[in-house]
């Protein structure tokens, strides 16, 4: 085996740099599995929450959203016209599972201008039921990312907002957990399944 000539070495390096710089992997491809988001405010629920992205509809995340508002839908299940629609545009929306399909809720939020939706399970005591949301096959189009979280997380978030008379939380979503030092990862104390 001979050594690479200097020329060949430069060509190989050039190709490598080109591949790294130009062949960008779309970020959403990297979020096939569970993702995390962090509540920044209110501080009392300032934890890292585990979430499951929609399985077969909508779009994945193509960027990291920092200090974005998570507004509670009104009505909270998002199955009829949102009466707080003026608070929706440009924000993430928190909706409760049930009454209508996932796609219907998320499409309604998108239509009102939401950039993402977090659906929480409607069983406040359930800490483990992380549903992979699937399409209802009615041909409703969804173009925004959506996540599912367990009932205990969803209800804790809602109750904390109510206690603080807030209509929205501030979140970072999604979080690249590989960048977060282990000792900084604060998990919700009521959920032991991270
Ligand atoms: C998170 O960061 C690591 C380390 O830089 C990177 O390799 C990985 O692709 C990132 N993951 C996502 C989902 O962005
Ligand atoms: C949570 O939901 C899962 C799936 O439906 C179920 O198996 C489990 O028993 C539930 N746990 C509680 C505490 O309700």
Atom number of ligand 1 nearest to Cα 179: 2
d(Cα 14, Cα 107) in Å, to the nearest integer?
45
d(Cα 101, Cα 94) in Å, to the nearest integer?
15
> Topology of 27-184 in CATH?
Glucose Oxidase; domain 1 (3.50.30)
What is the H or E stretch that residue 96 is in? strand 92-96
At residue 70's C-alpha, the angle toward residues 45 and 30, to 5°, is 90
Task: Quote the ligand 1 centre to 137 CA distance (angstroms).
Answer: 33
Give the ligand whose atoms come closest to the C-alpha of residue 131. 2
Residue 2: what pLDDT?
A: 62
What are the residues whose beta carbons fall under 8 Å from the beta carbon of 127, sequence distance 6 or more?
A: 150, 151, 152, 190, 191, 192, 193
| 2, two tokens | 């001979």
| 29, two tokens | 């491809």
Task: Quote the ligand 1 centre to 84 CA distance (angstroms).
Answer: 36
d(Cα 187, Cα 194) in Å, to the nearest integer?
7
Residue 15: what pLDDT?
A: 56
Task: Quote the ligand 2 centre to 129 CA distance (angstroms).
Answer: 6
d(Cα 92, Cα 118) in Å, to the nearest integer?
7
Task: Quote the ligand 1 centre to 176 CA distance (angstroms).
Answer: 6
Question: Would you give per-residue pLDDT tens digits along the chain (194 residues)?
Answer: 466 676 676 666 665 555 444 444 444 444 457 899 999 999 999 999 999 999 999 999 999 999 999 999 999 999 999 999 999 999 999 999 999 999 999 999 999 999 999 999 999 999 989 999 999 999 999 999 999 999 999 999 999 999 999 999 999 999 988 888 888 889 999 876 54
24 touches ligand 1 (CB under 6 Å):
no
Give the ligand whose atoms come closest to the C-alpha of residue 28. 1
- CA 33 to chain CA mean position, Å: 11
Give the ligand whose atoms come closest to the C-alpha of residue 53. 1
125 touches ligand 2 (CB under 6 Å):
yes
62 touches ligand 1 (CB under 6 Å):
no
Residue 179: what pLDDT?
A: 84
The two beta strands, 48-53 and 35-41, are antiparallel
């Amino acid at each position: 085996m001979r050594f690479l000539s200097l020329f060949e070495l430069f060509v190989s390096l050039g190709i490598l740099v080109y591949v790294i710089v130009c062949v960008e992997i779309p970020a959403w491809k990297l979020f096939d599995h569970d993702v995390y988001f962090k509540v920044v405010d209110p501080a009392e629920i300032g934890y890292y929450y585990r979430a499951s992205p929609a399985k077969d509809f909508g779009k994945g995340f193509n960027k990291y959203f920092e200090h974005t508002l998570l507004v509670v839908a009104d009505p909270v299940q998002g199955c009829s016209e949102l009466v707080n629609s003026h608070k929706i545009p440009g924000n993430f929306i928190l909706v409760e599972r049930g009454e209508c399909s996932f796609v219907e809720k998320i499409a309604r939020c998108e239509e009102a201008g939401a950039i993402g939706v977090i659906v929480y399970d409607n069983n406040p005591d359930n800490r483990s039921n992380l549903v992979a949301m699937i399409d209802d096959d009615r041909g409703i189009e969804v173009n925004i990312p959506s996540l599912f979280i367990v009932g205990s997380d969803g209800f804790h978030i809602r109750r904390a907002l109510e206690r603080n008379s807030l209509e929205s939380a501030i979140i970072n979503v999604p979080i690249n957990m590989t960048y977060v030092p282990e000792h900084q990862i604060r998990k919700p104390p009521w959920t032991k399944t991270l």
